[in-house]
């Protein structure tokens, strides 16, 4: 049976990217590798919409999350973490493990953070050194207004704005520099159309000053050392060479399509998915849904996990269920990266068949 990967990540990988990564490995301390990194570096700045360098870690996204904790802060620093789902929880746990004083701003799953709550918390809590938030909280499919957050934090010279754009960069129009986003991270296995294992991080000049003061322990994840090496088109340790070569090809594909067209395509795919599930009589979970994934309530009486299982077994579509307290209650459809309207239309048809097989009847 033909398989379709329509998960919230990893996402589908184009053939040209796979073929590039299948080439014999090259050595990284060579002019050949440096030329690839130099090109990728420039293209990433364009995609991240920043003049600052975008460094690469050979790690999954959670590594970049950890790196953003250890590189900009010191033990006891006070930070606010927007906890609106699994990934907000992860950042909060990482910050706590490294000894930061964490103020959790809890947002009900499915909702976006209210900028006024952040404002109030900043007024109440003195000396906040950083605010962490996802752009798209992948566990709920919510999109947070990081533009408003960035504009707010611009007025706070002692506070950094750190955002997790793992399911947002290359999907939505995120203006890193214009919006004052100091640290933006992303990962390879989503809109960058690659396997997992490579993460990216843009670092503002404001964040660089924080990095110079930071005393938390760090060894592999050392942003200042990485930036120093990146200036020479090199990495501190052995990079994920094949993934970087693959990235060079996937970035070319993004450039060929045009960044605005990439955003536009994602918006259309997301709209089509939302309208499709609503036409089936289903309800969206996210109040302000992202363009990368769509979280949907399972219909009354049907376990969301059963929908996920049946879609795969009978129709070959990998979609993903809910986590923690929404397990069985929601399921999540991915439509980011190497994804076209025909992927979405087929996925919606497979969902319709699945619901029918499971005895669902649309209420009028
Ligand atoms: C928003 C977000 N943050 C962080 C992560 C963690 O990335 P990884 O699974 O690559 O560690 C993910 C992965 O799904 C994610 O979607």
The position carrying tokens 């790690």 is 59
Q: Is 132 in the pocket of ligand 1 (CB under 6 A)?
A: no
pLDDT digits (tens, 9 = 90+) for 306-352: 999 999 999 999 999 999 999 999 999 999 999 999 999 999 999 99
Rounded to the nearest angstrom, the distance between the alpha carbon of 309 and the centre of ligand 1 is: 22
Rounded to the nearest angstrom, the distance between the alpha carbon of 169 and the centre of ligand 1 is: 12
Instruction: Kindly tell me if the per-residue pLDDT of 364 is higher than 80.
Output: no
* Percent residues over pLDDT 70 in the chain: 100
Instruction: Kindly tell me if the per-residue pLDDT of 5 is higher than 80.
Output: yes
d(CA 192, CA 16): 13
* Percent residues over pLDDT 90 in the chain: 99
pLDDT digits (tens, 9 = 90+) for 42-70: 999 999 999 999 999 999 999 999 999 99
Residue of 57, 187, 198 best suited for mutating to test ligand 1, as the one with most atoms within 8 Å of CB:
187
pLDDT digits (tens, 9 = 90+) for 164-218: 999 999 999 999 999 999 999 999 999 999 999 999 999 999 999 999 999 999 9
Residue among 196, 238, 254 at smallest CA distance from 39: 254
**Predicted local confidence at residue 215, as pLDDT:** 98
pLDDT digits (tens, 9 = 90+) for 228-237: 999 999 999 9
**Predicted local confidence at residue 13, as pLDDT:** 98
Instruction: Kindly tell me if the per-residue pLDDT of 304 is higher than 90.
Output: yes
Q: In ligand 1, which atom is closest to the CA atom of 199?
A: 10
Structural domains in the chain, sorted by start: 4-10+258-357 (3.90.1150.10), 15-255 (3.40.640.10)
User: What is the maximum span of the chain, computed from C-alpha positions, in angstroms?
Assistant: 65
Instruction: Kindly tell me if the per-residue pLDDT of 363 is higher than 90.
Output: no
d(CA 57, CA 229): 12
Rounded to the nearest angstrom, the distance between the alpha carbon of 168 and the centre of ligand 1 is: 11
Residue of 8, 81, 84, 87 best suited for mutating to test ligand 1, as the one with most atoms within 8 Å of CB:
87
pLDDT digits (tens, 9 = 90+) for 249-301: 999 999 999 999 999 999 999 999 999 999 999 999 999 999 999 999 999 99
Q: Where does residue 333 rank: exposed (0-12), middle (13-18), buried (19+ CB within 10 A)?
A: buried
Q: In ligand 1, which atom is closest to the CA atom of 168?
A: 1
Average pLDDT taken over every residue of the chain: 98
Q: Is 43 in contact with 36 (CB distance < 8 Å)?
A: no
pLDDT digits (tens, 9 = 90+) for 116-155: 999 999 999 999 999 999 999 999 999 999 999 999 999 9
The position carrying tokens 């979280």 is 295
**Predicted local confidence at residue 227, as pLDDT:** 98
**Predicted local confidence at residue 113, as pLDDT:** 98
pLDDT digits (tens, 9 = 90+) for 68-123: 999 999 999 999 999 999 999 999 999 999 999 999 999 999 999 999 999 999 99
Rounded to the nearest angstrom, the distance between the alpha carbon of 224 and the centre of ligand 1 is: 23
Helices (H), ranges, 182-303 = 205-213, 223-230, 241-257, 259-279
């Amino acid at each position: 049976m033909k398989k379709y990967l329509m998960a919230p990540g990893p996402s589908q990988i184009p053939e040209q990217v796979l073929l590039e990564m299948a080439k014999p490995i090259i050595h990284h301390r060579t002019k050949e590798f440096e030329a690839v990194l130099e090109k990728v570096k420039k293209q990433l700045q364009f995609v991240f919409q920043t003049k600052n360098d975008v460094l690469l870690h050979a790690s999954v996204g959670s590594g970049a999350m950890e790196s953003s904790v250890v590189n900009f802060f010191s033990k006891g620093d006070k930070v606010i973490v927007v906890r609106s789902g699994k990934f907000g929880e992860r950042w909060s746990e990482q910050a706590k493990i490294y000894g930061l004083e964490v103020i959790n701003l809890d947002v009900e799953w499915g909702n976006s953070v209210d900028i006024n709550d952040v404002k109030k918390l900043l007024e109440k809590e003195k000396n906040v050194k950083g605010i962490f938030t996802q752009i798209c909280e992948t566990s709920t499919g919510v999109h947070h207004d990081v533009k408003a957050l960035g504009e707010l934090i611009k007025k706070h010279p002692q506070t950094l704005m750190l955002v997790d754009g793992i399911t947002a960069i290359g999907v939505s129009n995120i203006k890193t520099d214009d919006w004052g986003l100091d640290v933006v991270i992303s990962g390879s296995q989503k809109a960058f159309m690659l396997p997992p294992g490579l993460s990216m991080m843009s670092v503002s000049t404001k964040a660089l000053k924080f990095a110079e003061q930071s005393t938390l322990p760090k060894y592999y994840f050392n942003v200042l050392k990485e930036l120093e090496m990146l200036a020479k088109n090199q990495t501190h340790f052995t990079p994920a060479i094949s993934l970087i070569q693959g990235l060079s090809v996937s970035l070319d594909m993004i450039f060929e399509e045009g960044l605005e067209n990439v955003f536009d395509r994602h918006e259309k795919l997301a709209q089509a998915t939302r309208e499709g599930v609503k036409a089936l009589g289903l309800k969206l979970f996210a109040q302000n849904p992202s363009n990368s994934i769509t979280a949907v309530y399972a219909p009354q009486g049907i376990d969301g996990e059963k929908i996920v299982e049946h879609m795969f077994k009978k129709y070959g579509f990998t979609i993903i269920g809910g986590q923690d307290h929404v397990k069985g209650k929601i399921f999540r459809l991915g439509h980011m990266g190497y994804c076209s309207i025909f992927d979405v239309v087929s996925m919606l048809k497979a969902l319709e068949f699945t619901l029918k097989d499971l005895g669902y009847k649309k209420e009028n």
